[in-house]
């Protein structure tokens, strides 16, 4: 059974799961209730909570955590690994990622792969926008409102669900 921890963030309740000494899931829900009290000595969970807290406070630009890739396969894995190359404060389009993968017609497939990202924030799918600059698809927290908040945290200006 995986170890887990919950904590409140500016975009919702974060639940982090660790299996095999690596982060296997980070779910963000809009539930603003109190986190389930969970004391943990798991060093990966403790580091994840600390690093995500630093990120949300604007004090961290990159994560240094082991990620569990066992359940992520095929094209989704390729797309998420490519996405990890997008640094803090930068955005890419679905088309740019598909071209980087050598599959220029696969922008929609990239979008579908990112929609199933089990590790939002840690694998920064919020840094991907439509070619028009519009914010599209974000399943964590409060959806596009959370995506806009994260992009603004990283220095972008967002107006009416579009990068300005």
94 assigned to some structural domain: yes
> What is the DSSP secondary-structure string of 116-156?
T-SSTTTS-GGGEE-TTSB-----STTTHHHHHHHHHHTT-
Q: In total, how many domains does the chain have?
A: 2
Same domain for 83 and 44: no
Same domain for 158 and 83: yes
pTM (2 d.p.): 0.93
Please state, as a whole number, how many other Cβ atoms lie within 10 Å of the Cβ of residue 93. Answer: 17
Is 80 exceeded by the pLDDT of residue 63? yes
Which residue has tokens 């690994």?
81
CB contact at 8 A, 36 and 11:
no
pLDDT given for residue 30 in this prediction: 86
65 assigned to some structural domain: no
125 flagged as catalytic: yes
Is 80 exceeded by the pLDDT of residue 132? yes
Compute φ and ψ for 45, nearest 5 degrees.
-65, -45
104 assigned to some structural domain: yes
**Closest CA relative to residue 149, chosen from 111, 121, 117, 114:** 121
Same domain for 159 and 80: yes
**How many CA atoms are closer than 13 Å to the CA of 49, on its beta-carbon side?**
20
Is 80 exceeded by the pLDDT of residue 1? no
Q: What is the pLDDT of residues 76-88, one digit of tens each?
A: 999 999 999 999 9
Catalytic residue among 19, 46, 48, 125: 125
64 assigned to some structural domain: no
Same domain for 78 and 157: yes
Is 90 exceeded by the pLDDT of residue 154? yes
- Which tokens sit at 60? 């961290």
Supply the range of the domain harboring residue 25.
3-56
């Amino acid at each position: 059974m995986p170890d887990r921890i919950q904590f409140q963030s500016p975009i919702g309740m974060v639940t982090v799961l660790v299996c095999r000494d690596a982060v296997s899931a980070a779910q963000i829900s809009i539930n603003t209730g109190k986190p389930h009290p969970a004391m943990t000595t798991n060093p990966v969970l403790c580091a994840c909570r600390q690093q995500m807290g630093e990120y949300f406070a604007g004090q961290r630009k990159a994560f240094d955590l082991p990620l569990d890739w066992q359940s992520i396969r095929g094209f989704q894995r390729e797309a998420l690994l490519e996405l990890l190359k997008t640094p803090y404060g930068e955005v890419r389009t679905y088309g740019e990622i598909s071209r980087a993968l050598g599959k220029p017609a696969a922008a929609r497939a990239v979008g579908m792969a990112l929609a199933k990202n089990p590790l939002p924030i840690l694998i920064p799918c919020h840094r991907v926008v439509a070619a028009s600059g519009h914010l599209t698809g974000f399943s964590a927290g409060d959806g596009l409102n959370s995506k806009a908040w994260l992009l603004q945290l990283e220095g972008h200006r967002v107006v009416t669900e579009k990068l300005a």
